[in-house]
Amino acid sequence: MKAAYIERYGGPERLTVGERPTPSPGANDLLVKVAAASVNPIDFKLRDGKIKSMLPYALPLILGNDLSGTVHSVGAAVTRFKPGDRVVARLAKERIGAFAEFALVAQGDAAFAPSSMDLIDAAGLPLAGLTAFQALFELGQLQSGQTLLVHAGAGGVGHIALQLGREAGARVIATASEKNRQRCLDLGASEVIDYRRERFDERHNVDVVLDTQGGQTLLRSIAITRKGGHVISISALPTPEVARAWNVAWPLRQALRFLTRRERALAIKCGVHYHYLFMRPDGAQLAELVRRVDAGTLRLLIDKRYPLDQAAQALAHVEAGHAAGKVLIVP
């Protein structure tokens, strides 16, 4: 099968499109004929080798973390899906490989694709949607009437978080550049702050923040969150607690303890619950997101589709940092 893979870590030139063996499904797996995969920033961070100490992979490695497609064949223990079913999934982090004509999905990680939208565009939902869902509801415990601040409201994760927040009855503030103001308002933001010209710090007593930027944005976000509120970063370094849960080696855990000291100390000082999230696949949560798409309360912004041959350009587009919604690779 054709796939986009790396044999060594490095820059865009390391991504090769060529032939790789088609994987065989294990007992609990679906072999999916990929309709499309979405590009997520983790794809170029993996390609660079920047996160290989947290996520060690054997090379060569086919990149790509989430997909839409049609079930081609199933393992002997698969009961929920059959050949021909249209599905979406975030692949297990230990076994990625969506930038290909075929990919393996554990049946527990898959959900039936939305019936109300194009199967290709549905590839934009799994990773970004699950991230937003887990951040707002599992960690942020977002409630109706609360104020939610979403950084990068027009981004892959942000544009979904805005809509989930609005549907939950929260007042949603988004940061975005001027060109994305109307997009964010249309998706449910009550207020949009142009992060290039305005400081968001004038808002106070925010209940929940979804931080997609890390660094100063994260620290300034903690400072404006009310006592007892939640700040969830998906872009900072993992906390030592998360690293421990991942069985990361002790020296790296100590390094993370040091490197994350500022945000953890500020959160303690402000009485704010600070969480680092690394999202996980979850077929049941994904089915709930699909339900919302089909009910018309959640829509996906698709910035651009690229053919598999142009996978490197697709990654470069996202790496430039200004995608509006999701970028897709179509094999």
Shortest Å, Cβ 318 to ligand NAP: 5
What's the length of the chain?
Answer: 331
Tokens of 225: 């969150």
Is 322 a binder of ligand NAP (CB under 6 A)? yes
Tell me whether residue 78 or residue 127 sits nearer to ligand NAP (CB atom): 127
Nearer of residues 151 and 166 to ligand NAP, judged by Cβ: 151
**CA 258 to mean position of chain CA atoms:** 26
Give the 3-state secondary structure of residue 317: helix
Nearer to ligand NAP, 212 or 285 (CB): 212
Site string for ligand NAP, 45-84 (x = CB under 6 A): ----------------------------------------
Q: Does 285 bind ligand NAP (CB under 6 A)?
A: no
Count of C-beta atoms within a 10 Å radius of residue 250: 9
Gap between the Cα atoms of 255 and 278, Å rounded: 18
User: Contact with ligand NAP (CB under 6 A): which of 5, 17, 35, 41?
Assistant: 41
* Binding flag, residue 177, ligand NAP (CB under 6 A): yes
3-state SS assignment for residue 206: strand
Name the residue type at position 295: A
- Residue (of 263, 281, 294) closest to 133 by Cα position: 281
Which stretch in 14-22, 36-44, 117-125, 247-255 sits in contact with ligand NAP by CB under 6 A? 36-44
How many whole angstroms separate alpha carbon 229 and alpha carbon 272?
A: 5
Distance, CA of 192 to CA of 180 (rounded, Å): 9
Q: Which of 3, 37, 42, 192 binds ligand NAP (CB under 6 A)?
A: 42
Q: Does 240 bind ligand NAP (CB under 6 A)?
A: no
**150 counts as binding ligand NAP under rule CB under 6 A:** no
Distance between CA atoms of 139 and 209, rounded to whole angstroms?
11
199 Rama sector, left if φ>0, alpha if ψ -120 to 50, beta otherwise: beta
Q: Segment contacting ligand NAP (CB under 6 A): 24-32, 68-76, 92-100, 275-283?
A: 275-283
- Please tell me the distance from the alpha carbon of residue 122 to that of residue 87, in angstroms, as a whole number: 9
Name the residue nearer to ligand NAP (CB basis): 104 or 192.
192
| Residues binding ligand NAP: number (CB under 6 A) | 29
Residues forming contacts to ligand NAP in the complex (CB under 6 A) are 40-42, 128, 131, 151-152, 154-158, 175-177, 180, 195, 212-213, 234-235, 277-279, 318, 321-324
